[in-house]
Structures are given as C-alpha cells and as structure tokens.
Chain A
Amino acid sequence: MTQTSSEPTTPFAKDTEPHLNKWGPYRITRDEVTETAIRRFCEVAEDGNPVYWDGDYAKSTRFGRLIAPPQSLFSMTFGAWWTPGYLQQQTDEAAAALNPPGTELAGQGGVHAVCDEYGYTINTVAGQEVEYIEPFGPGDGRLKMRSMTTHVSEEKTVRVGKGIFITSVTEYRTEVGDRLIGRSTMVLLRYKAI
C-alpha cells in the first residue's frame, strides 16, 4: 500500500481527524462550589491556607471573600458519584439549555470512542497546564466547562505498553456572572498494556 505524507497516514489518524478542533458541549456541575467541598479538597494535600478556610480572615484580604484553591478546578468539576434520576434530568436540562443543537457530537467524546475501538482503554494524564484567570468560590454557583481535542499523536511505544497522546483544551466558567475563571491544556495518554 502506498501513502502520501500530506494526509492521515494510519487508519487511526484518519478516524480521529474529523473530531479535532471542535468545541464540545458545555457541561455543568451538579453542585455549587461550597465551603465543604473546598475543605475536603484542602484535606488531600493538607493545605491550611486561611483564604480557603477562614471566611473572616479571607474578607480582610484582597480577595474580599473565602475562595476555593484555584488548583481545585478539576476536582470541583469532576462528575458526581451518584445522582437520583430526577435530579440528573434537571442537570442535563440545564446543560442542554447552554448548547446549540448538534454540539453533542463534537468535543472529546469522538476521539475517545475511536481510542476505545482501537483498544487504547487505559487512561493516564501525561501532562497538563492550567491558567487560573480569576478567583472563584462559594457564591459563584455551579461551574460550566467545555472542551476540544486539538491534537492526537501517532501510535507510540511507551513505558507501560503502546499508546496515543491526546491533547485537549478546556474552558471553565462560573454559573453566576458567566465569568471565565480558568483554561487548561491536557495531554492524556491512552494505552494498552503489552
């Protein structure tokens, strides 16, 4: 079989190409950013920063209020563990209202489905960069986010097997005031163990 270098050179590249550089739908978290969620995140790395713990102290700082650790953005937007059906429906409706019809198929879902098809089913984050644009905290409501895949590597041999590096960008906004609070670029390795 002959191939030219200007077009996708493998079936994998060909199958992922249509899914690149398109914003996926907005998702919205089930829960608002709360003091309790902040404290549970701070317990993980034992972070005692008083602007995350002490509302009175935080008011006296330049932030003017209790804030979440900016680095908790991923945890605060992680999918809930269990939700009753009627509430899930409300959350889905809230997200649907943010999206024009048709965006459901764009974004990261397509690339990940292709990876599953090719057997690259194990995920690990290989690297990431996050930019924290504004502080956020209790009072900002829930958080909204949307992502797009910007690059997919060739199939590579890595320390744990054979895999694909996927680069994606995600934007984060507050529900109250619709403020852009963060932007992240993530490189995810999806692999199969050999």
Chain B
Amino acid sequence: MTAPTEFTTLSWDDVKEGDELQSLTFPISMRTLMIDVAGTRDLYPIHHDREFAKGNGARDIFVNTMFYEGLFGRIATDWAGPESFLRKLRFSMKGPNCLGDTMVSRGWVTKKHEQDGQKLLDVEIHLDNQIERDATIANVTIELPS
C-alpha cells in the first residue's frame, strides 16, 4: 500500500480560539442504522425496531451512543489531521437523530491550552437536524503533536 500524502495535521501554533471546523452533513437512512448496528455491536432494539422505539416514546429508531462517538471523533480528526489524538469526548443528547433525519454539524475551537506538556484544543461540536437545533452537543479535547 502506498502511504497517502494528502493528509496533514494542524500545527497547534497556527490554531486560534474561534476557528471553525468544516461542516459535515450526514443523512440517516435505514442503511446507516444497519451499519451502525453491525459496526458498533449494539443490538438494543430502540435503534433498529421501529415498533419498539415508537412504543417506548421515541419519534422513530435513532442512531446510538457509539454512532455519536464515531461521528464526533471523525469530525475532530478530519479537521485536525491524522496525527491528532482525541483526549476527551463528552456529549449530551437533547433529542434523538432518527431514521430519515439529516444531521448537520457546526464546530469551533473554544479553548487553546497546554496541560502536562500536551498541546490541547477544546472544540465544541453541535448537531442540528431538520426538526431540532442542537439535538446533540459535544465537547471534544484534541491533542496535537508538539
């Protein structure tokens, strides 16, 4: 395999608080939710059984916790580059992102700091869908190489 050359990692010195991450649009189809089950190993029926989800108060089946982990991690490292490393991930789900919804991300750098010799960036990422703004909000800490 030839090593890809188009990947670059951000330099910590070049990043400013307020810098924006590129937005990602991610539609949720049945295929998305099937790959979610297969890839994250989560068989809980609220994520794949529409009758079960609706019977338990949900609008429809929705993406699971590990989907958000994967998506927020991807948004962070797509922006920061392959030599960046996720140090912290926290998120709260205000509302679900369901089958048929389209998620759109917004993200920006909230804080640039150093701790224990690590060059860190705190980043906030919001996911909106066509029904709800701020359906999910994540706070991510990314470490860049020093």
Contact = CB atoms under 8 A, between A and B. Distances in A.
Nearest to A192: B56
A122 B44 CA distance: 10
B136 to A, nearest CB: 10
Interface string B68-85: 011111100110001101
Most A CB contacts (10 A, CB to CB) among B74, B82, B91, B93 go to B82
B82 A50 contact: yes
Interface in B24-68: 26, 35-36, 38-44, 46, 55-58, 65-67
A51 B89 contact: no
Contacts of B7: 50, 57
A193 B57 contact: yes
Interface stretch (A16-24, A74-82, A84-92, A142-150): A74-82
A81 B65 contact: no
A15 interface: no
Given A75-B40, A193-B57, A45 B67 contact: yes
Interface of A: 40-51, 54-57, 60-63, 69-72, 74-75, 78-81, 122-132, 135, 159-161, 193
- Report, as a range, how many residues of chain B touch the other chain: 35 or more
Contacts of B90: 127-130
Contacts of A75: 39-42, 66, 69-70
Task: Give the dominant DSSP class at A's interface.
Answer: mixed
A70 B86 contact: yes
Interface in B85-127: 85-93
Given A61-B83, A129-B88, A74 B57 contact: no
Nearest to B72: A71
23 contacts: A40-B39, A44-B67, A45-B26, A46-B74, A49-B77, A49-B78, A49-B82, A56-B2, A57-B7, A69-B70, A71-B72, A72-B70, A74-B40, A81-B41, A81-B43, A122-B46, A124-B46, A126-B92, A128-B90, A131-B87, A160-B56, A160-B58, A193-B57
Nearest to B64: A125
A50 B46 CA distance: 32
